[in-house]
Amino acid sequence: MKCSNIVTQMQMLLLSTYFLFSPERRTANMAASGGRTVGSFLWKCGNCCFNFNTVSSNLTRQVLSRQLCVSAVLHRKNLAAAGPEKFSEEFIKKQVEEFNIGKRHLANMMGEDPETFTQGDINRSIAYLFPSGLFDKKAKPLMKHPDEVFPKQRAVQWGADGRPFHFLFYTGKQSYYSLMHDTFTKALAVEKHQDRLRGKDLFTQDAKQISLVGSRWLLKEELEELLVETISEHDYARFIQLMERLLSLPYCSVEEDFVQRYRRQLEIQSSKQQVQPLQYDQHGVAYSTGDGRRKTAMGTVLLRDSGSGSISINGTNYVHYFPVLQDREQLMFPLHFMEVLGRFDMQCSVSGGGHSSQAGALRLAISRAMLSFLSEGQVETMRQAGLLTPDPRIKERKKPGQEGARRKFTWKKR
């Protein structure tokens, strides 16, 4: 990505001034007016000495800069925000256009082909152009499609005369109730279909069923997102109940598309494991390596087949390295679980952390190294046993005003 010779320093400076707007300010007015002020600022600057050789005109500069600053500001996901809609439809449409144009400009800036510029490329370019030292991901500059940035909102629900469009508007949760209504209608339709078949004597119990394996119902949050309105847990439970009732009918496969719209596929976890192939050393003995981390300790293990169960850690015997029984049990767990206790020879090296975290790191390393020796089913059982999951717990940060991470200073009444 060749960029530095195209984007001059002045431009960078100007672009970076937009990030004086703090990400916490989330008012819509900000979005509308801020862009304008900034744009005007740039316009003035553009009249002064300022030359760059990109394809951008002043207008597009304004567009690009405004898009960036707006995107960084709006992060909340408040659906059906209380009150009238903050962003009108034309506004959103304009934002989309501006985003697309800005995307093309960014592609030109980076020297890439605008047609095949994906969101991943955008993210990388923005991270390159605006490097941020901030830790919080949400505080870093971002450029995303407005649909992802602006929360989904409902269009105005009533006409010019004040009459609502939807017949269920006065229930308060019109989309939810209309969905329930539709589902029940479909259930009734299926039952009618079944009665018709019974009448024609074509009714069979073993009709084709909808396959529900590997998928799950929408979560409450996902349903809320779909309906663009808030629902209570009770409502969600009723919805699931109704869908289950629909599914209990023998001929529900008629409405398969409708049902599948409200189900999500589950990802198969174990297919994410990368199993290294076995390596063979000069004597034909199979070996494999693995490494693991826990807290601050890092360990690597070289697992050799057809051994006698001897383990050496950093050159010393494991009984001497880990005098505590608990640590040795941690080392034993993966081997014992797979019942291969006396089969492997291990050479381990570990550094950092304390004795417990070193034992945990080695345990993970041993499990990972063992993967190459095991079959798919065994890998799955290991994953379910939790042997392949790195332990994410680390020391919690100490906060100011407190003595430790959680402990507060002694409270004195006076």
Rounded to a whole number of angstroms, the minimum distance from the CB of residue 320 to another protein is 6
Using the minimum distance from each CB to another protein, give the nearer residue, 267 or 339: 339
Least CB distance to another protein at residue 332 (A)? 5
Task: Find the shortest distance in angstroms from Cβ 287 to another protein.
Answer: 20
CB of 322 to another protein, least distance (A): 10
| Shortest separation between residue 325's beta carbon and another protein, angstroms | 7
The residue written with tokens 């400076």 in the block is 13
What six digits make up the tokens of 18?
A: 């937009």
CB of 191 to another protein, least distance (A): 57
Give one DSSP letter per residue of 302-332, joined into a string: EEESS--S-EEETTEEHHHH--SHHHHHHHH
* Distance between CA atoms of residues 119 and 138, nearest Å: 17
Q: Measured from the CB atom, is 279 or 316 closer to another protein? A: 316
Helix (H, G, I), strand (E, B) or coil at 300: strand
Indicate the residue among 263 and 328 with the shorter CB distance to another protein.
328
In the complex with another protein, the residue whose CB is nearer, 202 or 325, is 325
Angstrom distance (rounded) from CA 362 to CA 290: 9
Range list of β-strands (E), 161-242: 215-217
362 and 327 Cβ atoms separated by less than 8 Å = no
Least distance from C-beta 359 to another protein, angstroms?
13
Q: Closest by alpha carbon to 389, among 334, 350, 349, 345?
A: 334
Give the pair of three-digit tokens for residue 81. 């925000």
Q: What is the SS3 assignment for 293?
A: strand
**What's the CA dihedral at 354, 359, 360, 363 to 10 degrees?**
160
Question: Which of 230, 317 has the CB closer to another protein?
Answer: 317
Q: Per DSSP, what are the bridge partners of residue 293? A: 298
Residue 215 or 378: which CB sits closer to another protein? 378
Q: Is 349 left (phi over 0), alpha (psi -120 to 50) or beta?
A: beta
Euclidean distance between CA atoms 304 and 288, whole angstroms:
7
What is the maximum alpha-carbon separation in the chain? 89
Phi first, then psi: give them for residue 21, nearest 5 degrees: -70, 120
Query: What residues make contact with another protein under the rule CB under 8 A?
Result: 309, 311, 316-320, 325, 328-329, 332, 335-336, 339, 341-342
Output the smallest distance, CB 378 to another protein, in A: 17
Q: What are 117-123's contacts with CB under 8 Å, separation 24+?
A: 119/144, 119/145
Nearer to another protein, 164 or 342 (CB): 342
Q: Which is nearer to another protein, 30 or 332 (CB)?
A: 332
When the beta carbons of 47 and 308 are compared against another protein, the nearer one is 308
Of residues 64, 123, 72, 126, the one with CA closest to residue 98: 64
Nearer to another protein, 27 or 326 (CB): 326
Nearest-5° Cα angle at 61, 57 to 65: 175
The distance of closest approach from Cβ of residue 328 to another protein in the complex, given in angstroms and rounded to an integer, is 5
Q: In angstroms, what is the minimal distance from the CB of 319 to another protein?
A: 4
